Structure 1
Amino acid sequence: MSKVKRFEPNTVGRDFVTGDVHGHFTRLQLALDAIGFDPACDRLFQCGDLVDRGPESHLAIEWLAKPWFHPVRGNHDDYVCRFDTCDTGNWLENGGLWFSGMNKAEQLEHQVQFKELPIAIEVATATGVTFGIVHAECPRPDWGDFLRDLDDPSLSRKEQKLLTNTAMWSRRRYELDDRDKVQGVDWVVVGHQPLEHGPVVLGNTLYLDTMGWRRGVFSFLNITECKLLQAGVAQ
């Protein structure tokens, strides 16, 4: 199963990207309503961390069934993939109590579906601008190298784990204020880093987790028009 999903341009509607959800799907839906999102023709790409912290993590499965909803895997989503081997104490401290309340069959169903989440998404547009989406940051200087390595069977298990963990967990670029551009792609859109004062751009990496899950107001990138907007109901 590929860790990468690629999408051709949307020829019938608009494409949007938004940040982390953290179990607040009602707040996300209100924000989508506010921007006039049309599920019949629009697509929503999402930067991962569907679950934990909020009261609606159990709705993630319903959202994954929506044909217009396309998330990458975040570090909190990866807890679900590793629920039978991960440090459950650490997970519980970070919002994983909702999962422990499920029976084993429900837990296994979540694990199966969450393992299908890609680590990276690439979206083409009619204007020729290409967008890469990953939860935390691109671990390689070149986007194409990153995508190739994600599916490279010659990489050792240790190398694969380091690559995917960096993509889902790292804050290196943000903490170092690294403004070097990721080559081989026009924009890389990420979540993971909670932001108080709006989206942040470092080089060609756009940080989009403005904590809509907490504040109710989500940031969106309309990639069809390459335009940023915020919408939702403030909490």
Structure 2
Amino acid sequence: MSLIQKHEQNLAGRDFIVGDIHGQYDLLLEAMARVDFDKAKDRLFCVGDLIDRGADSFKCLSLPFEPWFFGVRGNHEMLAIDALENGGKNEDLWMINGGTWVITEDKVEVRQLLLDALTYLPYARQVEVMGQQVGIVHAEPPADWSLIEGASAGSKEEMVWGRKRIKSMDTTPVAGIDAVVVGHTIIEQPTWLGNVFYIDTGAFQTGRLTLINAQEALG
């Protein structure tokens, strides 16, 4: 699978982008209802972390198979697959970071569902919105968006785990893209750093799941 998937403009309906869901399936449905989301023609893009910390993680793991849903992989999807494939310390790390929901599920079934879901969860997506290009990664975009296509293992890890930009409040624009939407780091309200828009408002802690019209990602 390509590291990035590109999407032409949605001429039939609207595009939305949602923050880290973390098993908050009902919050997602409420957010979609508020914007009268039409599954027949609207598209929902997600910045990753569909699972962990929330009771409905198993339900959320089925979202990538919906024809209207387009996610990227987050660090929690990667924690989970490492745990389910390798066990040991990987499993301990997953449990500490919100993987305990799997205890009441069939681990073999969860492992297969996650493996299948990951085939629908690239590291990045790029969406045409009003003639401009909006990128989506979970955590940290590269300095130049074009570098994603041939990203090294270290660069891929940065895309799902990185926090350098937000820790240093770096406002340097990402080159080669009009805007990038990310999650991963919980913030009080959606925040811009250069052309990077942070939208993870900590749904599992705050009950606030941010869902924006993709046009808002263009400032």
Give yes or no for TM over 0.5.
Answer: yes
Written as runs of structure 1 = structure 2, the 5 A alignment for 1:78-227 is 78-83=78-83, 84-85=85-86, 87-116=90-119, 117-125=121-129, 127-138=130-141, 140-146=142-148, 148-150=149-151, 159-160=152-153, 162-196=154-188, 198-224=189-215, 226=217
Determine if contact 2:22/2:50 at 8 Å carries over to the other structure: yes
2:2: which partner in 1?
2
Structure 1 stretch displaced more, 21-30 or 100-109: 100-109
Write the letter of the residue equivalent to 1:128. G
Give the whole-Å Cα distance in 2 for the aligned partners of 1:71 and 1:167: 14
Give the whole-Å Cα distance in 2 for the aligned partners of 1:91 and 1:105: 16
Give the whole-Å Cα distance in 1 for the aligned partners of 2:192 and 2:96: 30
Give the whole-Å Cα distance in 2 for the aligned partners of 1:118 and 1:194: 22
1:52: which partner in 2?
52
Write the letter of the residue equivalent to 1:149. G
Give the whole-Å Cα distance in 1 for the aligned partners of 2:40 and 2:215: 16
Shift of 1:100: 4.0
Deviations 1:80-113 (A, max 9, x none): 2222226111110111112244334303312322
Shift of 1:226: 4.9
SS in 2 for 1:195: coil
Structure 1 stretch displaced more, 215-224 or 201-210: 215-224
Shift of 1:35: 1.6
Written as runs of structure 1 = structure 2, the 5 A alignment for 1:37-76 is 37-76=37-76
Give the whole-Å Cα distance in 1 for the aligned partners of 2:36 and 2:24: 19
Assess, with a 3 A threshold, how the Cα gap between structure 1 residues 225 and 210 changes in structure 2: closer, same or farther: closer
SS in 2 for 1:82: helix
Determine if contact 1:21/1:51 at 8 Å carries over to the other structure: yes
Structure 2: where are the runs of 5+ without partners?
none
Query: What is the percent sequence identity of the aligned residues?
Result: 37
Write the letter of the residue equivalent to 2:200. D
Count of matched residue pairs? 215
Assess, with a 3 A threshold, how the Cα gap between structure 1 residues 111 and 212 changes in structure 2: closer, same or farther: closer
Give the whole-Å Cα distance in 2 for the aligned partners of 1:70 and 1:23: 16
SS in 2 for 1:23: coil
Give the whole-Å Cα distance in 2 for the aligned partners of 1:98 and 1:149: 35
Shift of 1:225: 6.0
Determine if contact 2:22/2:204 at 8 Å carries over to the other structure: yes
Determine if contact 1:27/1:213 at 8 Å carries over to the other structure: no
Give the whole-Å Cα distance in 1 for the aligned partners of 2:191 and 2:216: 18
Give the whole-Å Cα distance in 2 for the aligned partners of 1:227 and 1:184: 14
RMSD (CA atoms):
1.7
Shift of 1:195: 1.0
SS in 1 for 2:5: strand
Assess, with a 3 A threshold, how the Cα gap between structure 1 residues 115 and 63 changes in structure 2: closer, same or farther: closer
Shift of 1:10: 0.2
Structure 1: where are the runs of 5+ without partners?
151-158, 229-235
Relative to the length of structure 2, the TM-score reads 0.91
Give the whole-Å Cα distance in 2 for the aligned partners of 1:119 and 1:226: 19
